[in-house]
């Protein structure tokens, strides 16, 4: 049996071709468009090998996070030795934090370039979900583009998961371009988020396609919960800020394209923008289009969006396909080096909005590592957008874990975004506009507007007691809140003797 001249294989046959130690690049940017059947088969193969006392682990590369059939299934089978560039699987996260898996946390826009120029070494196999492949090597991708065009180009062997459950028409939204190599790379020709500059398909050398695996299953997207009061308060501050910036001319009347991170806070913010009477209809230039943005597009509030992935509920996916003529003129799906392109972000004047784990009083941001040690997910696209944004915003609740953690701290234990790139900080307590403020004023503004009242006194005291300098820090105490948390389970347990702090510090860091 073949399809367009390519052999049809089952997933277990394909897994049998991929040896221990191979570098495998899978499609997927979030669960959208992620390979499903082959990674599950690889997990089965790993279990069989391990049961027989044989080694079997893969080096796994993707566009970003994936569905449960990929990271979670492979991690549960102990089948991953190395992973890049982002993950959000609980099992894999634990393996990374135990030191069992080598994880490379990367800006997502860099992945195609790293692939095309061999920075990762050879890509032995690419496993790419598609809705169609033609005999001459045109590959129509499904609900994300990610780094798949680069994987198809660079991998030595290619397997296509031909997913009959995904509409072929979604590819009408794809706009795929593989940038020329430097130093002959022209500027990206984008005057508007919806401008198309590429083709609706990716290319593969047909000689490299070793097989097609037929599948029929939806993406493994998880639903977001309803916005809680804290997320709603954060969202309201952001929407009010935009309205006042437009009113005083610091954002143009027609607004600017928005990038929004993933998750519940981001969903709440988009809802609040949609509901705000003084904010005009808007566009997005973002990496993930999720449910709240989809609803705003149906209502006409969101005029159009450029994205790398569609992360929608099964019902929304059906609506998208049923009303494809409406959506295909309003949505553009791009590869991640274009959707997250720092030059395009600067060029288009993007407003970036991302979520932090913790933010220090000078506005350095930690998006990735709890207490500087344990990775949560990864930096994702937040750095791609933040550094070049017209306005860069970071948001988070002022406390975590029932109040035992302040997300506003004296010094971040890991820095993903520096004070130089962060313009606005928002918690449910309020919004700190830091533009034009020197470090001491930044600290006072963040503490006053964003810190939880339970932690304000501590933070004011820390700033005051640190003494005068350009950035006021006391290196003997800057991580005391974290040390308290690690030792006592609460940051405000501040009765620790100095000798004890020294002991904790050397044990923990």
Q: Would you tell me which residues interact with ligand COA (CB under 6 A)?
A: 261-265, 287, 354-358, 367, 370, 376-377, 379-382, 397, 400-401, 405, 407
SS3 132: strand
* Residue 49: Cβ-neighbour burial (10 angstroms; 0-12, 13-18, 19+): middle
Cβ nearer to ligand COA, comparing 132 with 358: 358
CB of 18 to ligand COA, least distance (A): 29
Beta bridge partners of 2: 7
Answer yes or no: are the C-beta atoms of 336 and 287 closer than 8 Å.
yes
Q: Which CB, 62 or 407, lies closer to ligand COA?
A: 407
- Cα–Cα dist 409/415, whole Å: 12
In the bound state with ligand COA, the residue whose beta carbon lies nearer, of 250 and 401, is 401
Nearest distance from C-beta of residue 367 to ligand COA, angstroms: 4
Q: How far is the CB of 83 from ligand COA (least distance, A)?
A: 15
Dist. CA 349–CA 69, nearest whole Å: 37
CB 356, min distance to ligand COA, A = 6
> Among residues 25 and 379, whose Cβ is nearest to ligand COA?
379
From 129, 132, 271, 287, active-site residue: 287
C-beta separation of 217 from 38 below 8 A: no
Ordered DSSP codes for 297-331: HHHTSEEEEEESEEE--HHHHHHHHHTHHHHHTTE
Residues in the chain: 509
CB 390 within 8 A of CB 242: no
Q: How far apart are CA 103 and CA 450, in angstroms?
A: 33
The yes-or-no answer on residue 287 being catalytic is yes
In order of 247, 345, 390, 403, the CA distances from 250 in angstroms are: 8, 17, 10, 35
Give the helix, strand, coil percentages of the chain, each rounded to 5.
35, 20, 40
Minimum separation from the CB atom of position 358 to ligand COA (A): 4
**Residue closer to ligand COA, measured from CB, 142 or 382:** 382
> By the 8 A CB rule, do 443 and 461 touch?
no
Residues 493/497/502/506 CA torsion (nearest 10 deg): -40
* CB closer to ligand COA out of 354 and 472: 354
Question: Where would I find the beta strands (DSSP E) of 251-347?
Answer: 258-260, 282-285, 288-290, 302-307, 309-311, 331-333
Shortest spacing between CB 315 and ligand COA, in angstroms: 22
* Residue whose CB is less far from ligand COA, 268 or 437: 268
Taking the complex as a whole, the smallest distance from the CB of residue 325 to ligand COA amounts, in Å, to: 28
Show which residues are catalytic. Answer: 287
């Amino acid at each position: 049996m073949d399809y367009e001249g390519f052999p049809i294989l089952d997933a277990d046959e394909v897994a049998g071709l991929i040896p221990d130690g191979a570098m495998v690049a899978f499609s997927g940017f979030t669960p959208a468009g992620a390979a499903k059947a082959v990674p599950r088969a690889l997990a089965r193969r790993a279990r069989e090998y391990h049961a027989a006392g044989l080694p079997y682990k893969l080096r796994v590369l993707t566009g970003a996070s994936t569905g449960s059939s990929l990271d979670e299934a492979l991690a549960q089978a102990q089948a991953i030795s190395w992973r890049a560039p982002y993950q959000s699987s609980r099992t894999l996260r634990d393996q990374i934090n135990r030191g069992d898996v080598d994880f490379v946390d990367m800006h997502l826009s860099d992945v195609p370039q790293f692939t095309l120029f061999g920075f990762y070494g050879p890509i032995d196999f690419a496993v790419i979900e598609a809705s169609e492949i033609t005999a001459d090597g045109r590959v129509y991708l499904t609900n994300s583009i990610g780094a798949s065009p680069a994987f198809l180009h660079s991998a030595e062997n290619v397997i296509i998961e031909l997913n009959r459950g995904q509409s072929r028409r979604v590819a009408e939204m794809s706009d795929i371009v593989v940038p020329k190599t430097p130093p002959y790379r022209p500027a990206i020709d984008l005057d508007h988020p919806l401008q198309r500059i590429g083709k609706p398909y990716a290319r593969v050398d047909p000689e490299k396609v070793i097989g097609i695996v037929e599948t029929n299953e939806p993406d493994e997207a998880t639903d977001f919960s309803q916005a809680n009061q804290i997320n709603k308060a954060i969202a309201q501050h952001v929407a009010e800020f935009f309205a006042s910036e437009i009113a005083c001319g610091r954002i143009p009347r027609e607004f600017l394209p928005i990038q929004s991170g993933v998750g519940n806070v981001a969903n709440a913010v988009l809802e609040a923008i949609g509901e705000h009477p003084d904010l005009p209809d808007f566009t997005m230039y973002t990496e993930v289009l999720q449910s709240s943005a989809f609803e705003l597009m149906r209502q006409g509030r969101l005029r159009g969006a450029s994205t790398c992935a569609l992360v929608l509920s099964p019902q929304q996916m059906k609506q998208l396909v049923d009303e494809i003529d409406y959506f295909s003129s309003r949505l553009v799906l791009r590869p991640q080096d274009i959707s997250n392109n720092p030059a395009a972000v600067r060029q288009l004047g993007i407003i970036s909005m991302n979520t932090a784990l913790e933010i220090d009083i000078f506005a350095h941001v930690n998006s990735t590592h709890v207490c500087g040690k344990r990775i949560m997910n990864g930096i994702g696209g937040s750095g791609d957008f933040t550094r070049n944004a017209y306005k860069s915003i970071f948001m988070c609740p002022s406390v975590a874990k029932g109040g035992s953690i302040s997300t506003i701290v004296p010094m971040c234990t890991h820095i993903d975004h520096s004070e130089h790139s962060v313009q606005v900080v928002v918690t449910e307590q309020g919004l700190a506009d830091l533009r034009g403020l020197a470090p001491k004023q930044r600290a006072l503004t963040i503490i006053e507007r964003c810190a939880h009242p339970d932690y304000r006194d501590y933070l004011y005291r820390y700033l005051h007691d640190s003494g005068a300098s350009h950035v006021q820090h006391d290196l003997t105490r800057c991580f005391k809140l974290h040390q308290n948390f690690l030792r006592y389970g609460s940051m405000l347990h501040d009765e620790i003797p100095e000798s004890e702090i020294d002991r904790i510090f050397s044990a923990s860091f």
